[in-house]
Structure 1
Amino acid sequence: MASESNMVAVPSQNIPSGPPLTGGSPDKAEAIKDFLRAFLRHKSALIGSIIVLMFLLMAVIAPLITPYEYTERSQELLAPPSADHWFGTDEMGRDLFTRVVYGSRISLWVGFVAISGSIIIGSLLGLIAGFYGGWRDSLISRFFDILLAFPGILLAIAIVAMLGPGLNNALIAIAIINIPTFGRLMRSRVLSVKEEDYILAARAMGMKNSRILWKHILPNSWTPIMVQGTLGFATAVIEAAALGFLGLGAQPPEPEWGTMLSDARQYIQLAPWTMIFPGLAIMLTVLGFNLLGDGLRDLFDPRMKR
């Protein structure tokens, strides 16, 4: 009898070791401190976060740091950078520094809303496909395959062509083409997590599928989604700029960076600054989110830690 009781005690002691079944850890605050210390020591993540915060701050305080309205015109057409116009002026005499600063609002807004939509829809579909399997998995996976069968930017162009040019329609297109990325990532993560011992123990305890799904599997599957979301933000900024460059995104006089590049391409030799500064803004924004995403991946993945 004593040996039987010992055999029963072993799995019961192992059940609370799963992260979702603990109900909260007293070491959580210390774990957050350790993460922050590691984050501050990670050069890529730190540099990326500084760049991202710089653009976020620039977007928030745009009216305070710009000397003109972004639609305001002057008599100085294609003027080079000067004390009055730090980035010069465009072909209509508008201050480029003002337009680049206000353009950060549009690019960051498009990236945030589009990627948030992709994460919500894609993760929900991936969660259902990975957890329930069967015909649901087949149907959702085929939907992902159809979207992935087209190059992303071409599919975005097709969607905007059907809906009509405009910033909101470009935002919808960017959200749609990024759904499979997050959906397949979530599906693969759920397939792995649902076979863990603590999930099997929860099933043995009679826990409902809905509770297992939302309380245990989802919290343990969000980390790669967050990392991919950071990297996807950079992709969304590029896609928004590409659609704007083709005339399918934000429409004039909105100061969207891709649209500014499109308007300035005919002046690349006469006034190269009209393309240099919007291009630098795109490059730095994408670089910041990529560095931040790579840093988070290293910090969250034990195999990547040095």
Structure 2
Amino acid sequence: MGQAALKASPPKAPVDQASGPWRDAWKAFRKNKTAMAGLGIILFFVLIALLAPWIAPYDFKAQQLVNRLKPPSAEHWFGTDDLGRDLFTRVIYGARISLWVGFFSVIGSIIVGTALGILAGYYGKWMDMIISRLFDILLAFPSILLAIAIVAILGPSLQNALYAIAIVNIPTYGRLVRARVLSLKSEEYITAARAIGMKNGRILFSHILPNSLTPIIVQGTLGIATAIIEAAALGFLGLGAQPPDPEWGKMLSDSRQFIQKAPWTVVFPGLSIMLTVLGFNLMGDGLRDVLDPRMKN
């Protein structure tokens, strides 16, 4: 009897066919060709940034005035700048700076914005009023102008530019999380958690925060592209990375007077910014299509 029941039981699904929300999301993401193209571009620049000391043929600070404004050649693939520095080397090292600013400024914005958004949405009342008015004040200024003001106060440097970019983007994530929390805290499972005596801290970390990750991930991916553009804008104005750091925006600023005489000094840093931002935008759109239930058929 036992053997017959054992034979009648359905076979277990293979391990490689196991299903889950994140596994299913990855399968759907892989089917999106534009999103995979964006991921490929991002991985390409990340790999270049990590391997810069081994890939770069020259020292990014080495000046050779005798070779200034040389066009692209077998010796200098991207040509040289007005100080004779190899542009290929400086573009490679510039990927490190731009990605570093993009990733860490967004991480800072997400941490602070998520914390404030959860507090405002969950506790409401006077706390929601104060935090929401703070967000409104920050959003009242154009982001780049507010970033310029913050860097002007703190002093021009790459680190201060990172702080400024993180601060101006806090309201974006804070308001996103606040709206998500307002919709989640009225759900039945949150009411049940309160009914059984679960403390607010545990509710926030066990239920509210995990169910708020999807919009944060999507917005964070798109936010990195915005942060890279803002870092380049601050660098172009001389408020970001300082010489001799090879930041893409600063490279554009230093080369703007040679656009007609030596266009390669502008083309390659500008192309790097465009491709990196494009990669994050394509991947962010793909993540939105996969993770947002409203985008699913």
Interval of TM-score (by shorter of Structure 1 and Structure 2): over 0.9
Question: Which residue is 1:65 aligned to?
Answer: 55
- Kindly state the Cα deviation for residue 128 of structure 1 after the two structures are TM-superposed: 0.3
Question: Which residue is 1:143 aligned to?
Answer: 134
1:235 counterpart (226, 231, 234): 226
Q: Output the TM-score relative to the length of structure 1.
A: 0.90
Q: Give the distance between the partners of 1:228 and 1:55, measured in 2 at CA.
A: 20
Deviations 1:89-108, CA, capped at 9 Å, x for gaps: 00000000000000000000
Matched, 1:39 2:29: yes
- Kindly state the Cα deviation for residue 36 of structure 1 after the two structures are TM-superposed: 2.1
Matched, 1:213 2:204: yes
Matched, 1:244 2:248: no
Q: Give the distance between the partners of 1:45 and 1:39, measured in 2 at CA.
A: 7
What's the % identity of the aligned pairs?
69
2:194 counterpart (189, 195, 203): 203
Question: Which residue is 1:159 aligned to?
Answer: 150
Q: Moved runs in structure 1, 4+ residues, more than 6 A?
A: none
Give the residue type in structure 2 aligned to 1:124.
Answer: A
Q: Give the distance between the partners of 1:206 and 1:84, measured in 2 at CA.
A: 71
User: Given the superposition, is the C-alpha separation of residues 33 and 55 from structure 1 closer, same or farther in structure 2, using an over 3 Å criterion?
Assistant: same
Secondary structure of 2:211's aligned partner: coil
| RMSD (Å) for aligned C-alpha atoms | 1.4
Structure 2 gaps, min length 5: 1-14
Q: Give the distance between the partners of 2:34 and 2:121, measured in 1 at CA.
A: 33
Q: Give the distance between the partners of 2:44 and 2:56, measured in 1 at CA.
A: 15
Deviations 1:112-165, CA, capped at 9 Å, x for gaps: 111110000000000000000010000000000000010000000001111111
Q: Give the distance between the partners of 1:29 and 1:95, measured in 2 at CA.
A: 50
Q: Give the distance between the partners of 1:146 and 1:164, measured in 2 at CA.
A: 22
Matched, 1:286 2:277: yes
Q: Give the distance between the partners of 2:128 and 2:276, measured in 1 at CA.
A: 36
Question: Which residue is 2:12 aligned to?
Answer: none
Question: Which residue is 2:100 aligned to?
Answer: 109
Question: Which residue is 1:296 aligned to?
Answer: 287
1:194 counterpart (179, 185, 191): 185
Q: Give the distance between the partners of 2:227 and 2:197, measured in 1 at CA.
A: 43
Give the residue type in structure 1 aligned to 2:19.
Answer: E
Q: Give the distance between the partners of 2:167 and 2:24, measured in 1 at CA.
A: 37
Q: Give the distance between the partners of 1:215 and 1:295, measured in 2 at CA.
A: 27
Question: Which residue is 2:19 aligned to?
Answer: 30
Give the residue type in structure 2 aligned to 1:142.
Answer: R
Matched, 1:90 2:70: no
Question: Which residue is 2:40 aligned to?
Answer: 50
- Kindly state the Cα deviation for residue 29 of structure 1 after the two structures are TM-superposed: 4.9
- Kindly state the Cα deviation for residue 71 of structure 1 after the two structures are TM-superposed: 0.7
Q: Give the distance between the partners of 2:30 and 2:205, measured in 1 at CA.
A: 32
Q: Is the 2:214–2:292 Cα contact (8 Å) retained in structure 1?
A: no
- Kindly state the Cα deviation for residue 54 of structure 1 after the two structures are TM-superposed: 0.4
Q: Give the distance between the partners of 1:242 and 1:218, measured in 2 at CA.
A: 33
Aligned positions, number: 281
Give the residue type in structure 2 aligned to 1:104.
Answer: A
Q: Give the distance between the partners of 1:262 and 1:50, measured in 2 at CA.
A: 29
User: Given the superposition, is the C-alpha separation of residues 266 and 171 from structure 1 closer, same or farther in structure 2, using an over 3 Å criterion?
Assistant: same
- Kindly state the Cα deviation for residue 73 of structure 1 after the two structures are TM-superposed: 2.1
Give the residue type in structure 2 aligned to 1:292.
Answer: M
Q: Give the distance between the partners of 1:217 and 1:27, measured in 2 at CA.
A: 30
Give the residue type in structure 1 aligned to 2:68.
Answer: L
Matched, 1:224 2:199: no
- Kindly state the Cα deviation for residue 27 of structure 1 after the two structures are TM-superposed: 11
Q: Give the distance between the partners of 2:149 and 2:264, measured in 1 at CA.
A: 32
Structure 1 gaps, min length 5: 1-25
Secondary structure of 1:80's aligned partner: coil
Deviations 1:58-108, CA, capped at 9 Å, x for gaps: 000001111101011232110110000000000000000000000000000
2:168 counterpart (170, 174, 177): 177
Mean CA deviation greater in 194-203 or 165-174: 194-203
